[in-house]
Amino acid sequence: MSWGSELWDQFDNLEKHTQWGIEFVEKYTKFVKERSEIETNYAKQIRNLSKKYQPKKNSREEEESKYTFCRAFLTTLNELNDYAGQHEVIAENLTSQIILELSRYLQDLKTERKSHFHDGRKAQQHIESSWKQLEACKRRFERDCKEADRAQQYFEKMDADINVTKADVEKARQQAQMRHQMAADSKGEYSSYLQKFNQEQNDHYFTIIPTIFQKLQDMEERRIERIGLCMKTFADVDRQVLPIVGKCLDGMTKAAESIEPKTDSKQVVESYKSGFEPPGDVEFEDYGQAMKRAASETSLSNTREGKEKPPGKTKPKLWPFIKNKNKITLNSHVRNLIEGSGPEDFSHLPPEQRRKKLQGKIDELNKDIQKEMDQRDALTKMKDVYVKNPQMGDPASVDPRLSEIAQTIEKLQSEVQKFEGWLAEVEERMPSKSDTHRRSGIYETQNNTTVSNNCAQDRESPDGSYTEEQTSETQVKANTHPIPTTTTPEFDDEFDDEETLPTIGTCKALYPFEGHNEGTISVAEGELLYVIEEDKGDGWTRVRRNEDEEGYVPTSYVEVFLETNAKDS
């Protein structure tokens, strides 16, 4: 249906309707703007939440990162941060694709509507003016006709009166004729203007107004279509980010599925294992007989080698967690382990934890050495270029930096040797797995002889907790075992003479290893080797390339695939 033919007399109602349409566009624009602000604020709150629970840069958080559930939570936080970013994208797209577009369209819409109704009012004014002129012509024609009738009646009256002079009659006759002529002229003018008005009125209601109303109808339909497109865009903006939001949620799900309770339980052992052995049986002390009580050798006993303690002076060692006045107290060595404090050589830690800390420190120093060596190589190449092409730079300008790097490398290597010495000392004192099974026999046979143990029990106080002091015996034993200066743990020189060990699996080298030291073997990245002895807790795995080449490689450098029977054993 056309507004021009159906609503030709509803100019005022159409004006109100189109104004309401513009107000609706303004209302919808405000709605989208508020939705965009909500998305922006929501994304900001989500980002702040993710940032709030991000791990802090301290030793405690680094310790937590070893657990799968902590890593899963960190992944969830990162995915949540990306999820917040998608809500920011929604807000940006709503602003650029709807709010800004509708704001510009509203200005054009108001201008177009104003123009159309201006033309309509102009046409209305013109037809109303023509109608007024037609009415004026009609009233003038009516007046002239009445005047002509009165003049005619006056002439007839004068002509019938015998007392009136001929001159007065003639004058009345001429006046009547003049009035009739004026009436005839008014009639012609009225007839002509009436015809003109009818034509204008026909054009107004069948051409001009329908054209204007048709333009208004087209404008209104475009407005409605634009609102429909904006509503579709409103939904599409959300739909566009759904794939990425889905990936974020999939990442959270995958992180949750990556949690491994068994692995975390194993990590607890790795983090807090002391390396000590449980204490042996406490011997019966028979005070009814005058006899010397033999000192009970336990993994926590602290006796001097080759010496005996007087009867009644030996006190059995307690567990790391001891009860004192109905309250559980944590030994200082475990507390220091958690807080991360202590001397440079980590002597405050139990043997196993001390070994891990020393190994980690050595790895860190080796990375620093490699970084400095890379810088040295780069500067050396630059110096060679300067030597060959003096115009590019002065070779002598590189020497101070090279000297500084050389001093740094020398200092770092000295640090590595120091920590490797401490590491070798710890590994030398740590009991092997096979020694553990023989220890029970030692407890029974060595009743009068004690074995000196230079672990944390050297610093055990009478209540069973650990102190930071070292006895003179510990210092003497430290002097009797000089710090080795090798860059890798010592290996037995006699495994070359042993019988060929059977393979228990295979491994793949993840990184290249030079293997310069005795007992080690060099491997290339991606190389496949046979495993003949797995890691016994010292961080090294024994492998074989062929019948003649075998040696140790760092366990962290290879990915081991043990055979089923080897795993079961």
DSSP assignment string, 217-255: HHHHHHHHHHHHHHHHHHHHHHHHHHHHHHHHHHHHHHH
- Is the per-residue pLDDT at 440 higher than 80? no
For 497-547, the pLDDT digits (tens) are: 456 788 889 999 998 888 877 788 999 999 999 999 888 888 889 999 887
For 211-234, the pLDDT digits (tens) are: 999 999 999 999 999 999 999 999
- pLDDT-derived band at 11 (thresholds 50, 70, 90) equals confident
Query: Out of 148-152, 466-470, 523-527, which region has the weakest mean confidence (pLDDT)?
Result: 466-470
- Is the per-residue pLDDT at 320 higher than 70? no
- pLDDT-derived band at 569 (thresholds 50, 70, 90) equals low
Out of 17-21, 290-294, 436-440, the most confident range is 17-21
pLDDT at 369: 93
- Is the per-residue pLDDT at 53 higher than 70? yes
- pLDDT-derived band at 397 (thresholds 50, 70, 90) equals confident
End-to-end CA distance of the chain: 91
Sign, CA dihedral 52-54-59-64, equals positive
pLDDT at 199: 92
> What residues does each domain of the chain span?
3-264, 344-429, 505-562
State the average pLDDT over residues 461-475. 37
State the average pLDDT over residues 195-212. 91
For 76-127, the pLDDT digits (tens) are: 999 999 999 999 999 999 999 999 999 999 999 999 999 999 999 999 999 9
Rounded Cα gap, residues 133 and 135, in angstroms = 5
Percent of the chain with pLDDT over 70: 77
* CATH H-level, domain 3-264: superfamily: Arfaptin homology (AH) domain/BAR domain (1.20.1270.60)
Beta-bridged to residue 529, according to DSSP, are: 507
pLDDT at 310: 42
Q: Which residues contact 335 (CB under 8 A, 6 or more apart)?
A: none
CATH class given for the domain over 505-562: mainly beta
For 426-435, the pLDDT digits (tens) are: 777 765 544 4
- Is the per-residue pLDDT at 43 higher than 90? yes
Count of other CB atoms within 10 angstroms of residue 505: 19
Residue 74: φ, ψ to 5°: -65, -40
pLDDT at 341: 53
pLDDT at 227: 94
Rounded Cα gap, residues 11 and 15, in angstroms = 6
Q: What angle do CA 251, 257, 262 make, to 5 degrees?
A: 140
Enter the pTM of the model.
Answer: 0.51
- pLDDT-derived band at 315 (thresholds 50, 70, 90) equals very low
- Is the per-residue pLDDT at 567 higher than 90? no
- pLDDT-derived band at 54 (thresholds 50, 70, 90) equals confident
pLDDT at 316: 42
- pLDDT-derived band at 298 (thresholds 50, 70, 90) equals very low
- Is the per-residue pLDDT at 491 higher than 80? no
pLDDT at 59: 60
Beta-bridged to residue 550, according to DSSP, are: 544
